[in-house]
Amino acid sequence: MPPAPAKTYRALLVGTGGIGDAHVRAVEATQGRVQLVAAVDLDAARVKAFCERHRIPSALTDYPTALREVQPDLVFIAAPPSLHRDMSIAAMEAGAWVLCEKPFCGSLAELDAIEAAEKRTGRYSACVFQMRFASSTAHVRSLANAGQLGRPLVAVCNTLWFRDASYYSTPWRGKWSGDLGGPTMALGIHAMDHLLHLLGDWTEIRAVAATLDRAIEVEDVSVAIVTFANGAVASIVNSALSPRQETYIRLDYQKATIELTHLYSYTRDNWRFTLSPSAQEEANSLSQAWQSFPPDVGSTHAAQLAAFVSDMDAGRRPLTSGDDARRTLELLTALYKSAFTGEIVRRGSLLPSDPFYTSLHGGRSLKNSHHLPPYP
């Protein structure tokens, strides 16, 4: 008998701002496996124009109504961060799986609520962390996991971006209640998640954060030192103040240095490999192993959606959900706690009784921040 035709999934997009176009491109890349049948946005004119531009059949302005009328199999959430938890839960309760833009939610307590809804509904919610899904990252992980690079020793993870007054002019930006955090939560979360995907479990973190130059509630810079279970030590910088923008990950193994330099996305050409002087006897084999890249797939929403559709087909938990999503959110929460309290925070120490478990800033204000004039 011929194989059964692949299932088609009906999708709803929530939020038609700039990132909405990336979700449309991702859907188009599935070649019909996902059909974007509706979009919803509070701005009626914007959602109408968006749907006309992308030939989406239905433009709606009320999310509960959209869930009832569309009955989607999959919901893409690209709404403001403070809405992510409730929208994800509502989608699962309506029978849909969820692929939600970062940040996934605003606290470990909110993640508990999402996971409870998963258990209750049998559906899954995952966070958009597209930097994990490039084929070149899979190649680096394969080499490292096979022991070909030796032990990881030192790492650098920098998100050096620039966000000016126009960026923070959106009413919910720059506020703990709306943005859920500064460049730690809103910008650097991608590279930090990528670092964890490459290096594995973390064990402790010490950090500082400050509001140096933007008239906002949240931090505009954070710096951290993280120790990993495998013994590696990493430095992390997250900035909204850096005119020459760059996203940079460097991994120093015993036998080689591997670097990734890009801004918002990358391909295999963005990587650099430097052999250790002490590994010259293995130079040929290591160089050949490094050059043996699989077919190049960039770090796009399309790459993650392809994996997500495979997970839906198999009925299995997506990669960036559950415990995997918790590892990243727990690191960010611990970074904030360390910055606010001056303490070294160890993984597993953040319990429901901790004020940082339910609020990223723990109900505190940054000690080294001050009231700033509006940024020109």
Question: What DSSP letter does each residue of 14-40 carry, written as one string?
Answer: E--STTHHHHHHHHHHTTTSEEEEEEE
Query: Domain segments of the chain: what residues?
Result: 9-130+303-317, 132-296+326-358
Q: Inform me whether the pLDDT recorded for 367 exceeds 70.
A: no
Q: Inform me whether the pLDDT recorded for 114 exceeds 50.
A: yes
Q: Inform me whether the pLDDT recorded for 26 exceeds 70.
A: yes
Cα separation, 54 vs 133, whole angstroms:
25
Cα separation, 96 vs 203, whole angstroms:
35
Condensed to tens digits (0 to 9), the pLDDT of residues 132-155 reads: 999 999 999 999 999 999 999 999
Please return the burial class of 229, using the count of CB atoms within 10 Å of its CB with bins 0-12, 13-18 and 19+: exposed
Cα separation, 269 vs 328, whole angstroms:
27
**Do strands 345-346 and 202-210 pair parallel, antiparallel, or not at all (unpaired)?**
antiparallel
Q: What is the pLDDT of residue 368?
A: 57
At a CB cut-off of 8 Å and minimum separation 6, what does 225 contact? 205, 206, 207, 233, 234, 235, 236
Taking the complete model, does pTM exceed 0.85, yes or no?
yes
Q: What is the pLDDT of residue 130?
A: 98
Cα separation, 328 vs 320, whole angstroms:
9
CA atoms in the 13 A half-sphere facing the CB of 321: 23
Q: Inform me whether the pLDDT recorded for 338 exceeds 50.
A: yes
Percent above pLDDT 70 for the chain? 96
Residues 14, 75 contacting (CB under 8 angstroms): yes
Condensed to tens digits (0 to 9), the pLDDT of residues 58-111 reads: 999 999 999 999 999 999 999 999 999 999 999 999 999 999 999 999 999 999
Q: Inform me whether the pLDDT recorded for 205 exceeds 60.
A: yes
Q: What is the pLDDT of residue 376?
A: 37
Task: Kindly report the CATH number that applies to the domain delimited by 9-130+303-317.
Answer: 3.40.50.720
Q: Does domain 132-296+326-358 have CATH number 3.30.360.10?
A: yes
Task: Output DSSP code: residue 281.
Answer: G
CB atoms within 10 A of CB 353: 7
Domains 9-130+303-317 and 132-296+326-358 share a fold: no
Cα separation, 33 vs 212, whole angstroms:
47
Condensed to tens digits (0 to 9), the pLDDT of residues 50-64 reads: 999 999 999 999 999
